Amino acid sequence: MGVVFNGGLFVACALVLSVVLPFVTMFMMPNVDTCDHHGVSKPSFTQGGRYYWIEGSKPMSTQKHVAFFDRNGDYSLTPSEMLEGLQRLNCLGMDSYACKIAAAQYVFFKGTLNKGFPTADIDARRLITSNHDWMYSHNGQFNQTKLSQWISKYDANKDDALDAEEVKTFIESLASEGKLGNMGVALVELELQMALGLGNKGVMSRILWLQFYGNHLWYTHEEILKSKCSK
């Protein structure tokens, strides 16, 4: 009797190799210390730069937003890269295990939403074609007007900033609308938690939100952390 190899088995094998394996290897990774890390600082987004768009056009806001985590510049963000990035940012107040879970969840949710099937990486090139992306237009450009309206709407204490409580109100309203589904809401919640971790004592001013979605707040935050390391 020959070896039975059907479509179901193939899909199962592909799923183990492409989705399960990257998650397992991520959990075996050593912790990354911000002070011991001497990686690249702000990337060049000009022609010939590390993260210059592969087809020769300028990188979109979404690509600039995620480039911090793409260590090898191959436009693919793996759970390990996401974890390393979060660790360099001191895990945004999370312990090591929570950090690993957040990285795995984020990559899986975002990658799956963008590609339309279960995956273990975020393809930065696909970010521009998604129309589900929070705070960005369908072509991947940052929507400053949308951000401004969002802050004004949920800024309950009128200090021109959003804190964890105000963000929580927004997440609850998002969940009750039912437009995004559970995965979409979880994704937005994770993103906003990461953003709040970069703010001043968990409070994100309007300018910081602008830098977070439209600029390079990840790099700035890492530079601040590094400046506190003993020389």
Residue indicated by tokens 């007007």: 145
What minimum distance in Å lies between the beta carbon of 20 and Ca ion? 19
Applying CB under 5 A, among 139, 141, 157, 182 the residue interacting with Ca ion is: 157
* Bridge-based pairing state of the strands 161-162 and 204-205: antiparallel
Q: How far apart are CA 215 and CA 231, in angstroms?
A: 28
What minimum distance in Å lies between the beta carbon of 21 and Ca ion? 16
Applying CB under 5 A, among 14, 17, 41, 74 the residue interacting with Ca ion is: 74
Q: Give, in order, the Cα–Cα distances in Å from 205 to each of 47, 147, 172, 173, 208.
A: 32, 12, 21, 21, 5
- 70 or 222: CB nearest Ca ion: 70
Applying CB under 5 A, among 33, 159, 165, 172 the residue interacting with Ca ion is: 159
Coil, helix or strand at residue 77: strand
Scanning 159-167, 186-194, 208-216, 222-230 for contacts with Ca ion by CB under 5 A, the matching segment is: 159-167
Scanning 44-52, 76-84, 141-149, 205-213 for contacts with Ca ion by CB under 5 A, the matching segment is: 76-84
Q: How far apart are CA 199 and CA 221, in angstroms?
A: 9
Dihedrals phi, psi of 202, to nearest 5 degrees: 80, 10
Instruction: Name residues contacting Ca ion, limited to 184-223 (CB under 5 A).
Output: none
Scanning 12-20, 74-82, 185-193, 213-221 for contacts with Ca ion by CB under 5 A, the matching segment is: 74-82
Q: How far apart are CA 51 and CA 124, in angstroms?
A: 10
Q: Is 84 in the site for Ca ion (CB under 5 A)?
A: no
Structure tokens at 32: 């990354």
Scanning 9-17, 149-157, 172-180, 191-199 for contacts with Ca ion by CB under 5 A, the matching segment is: 149-157
Binding site for Ca ion (CB under 5 A): 70, 72, 74, 76, 155, 157, 159, 161
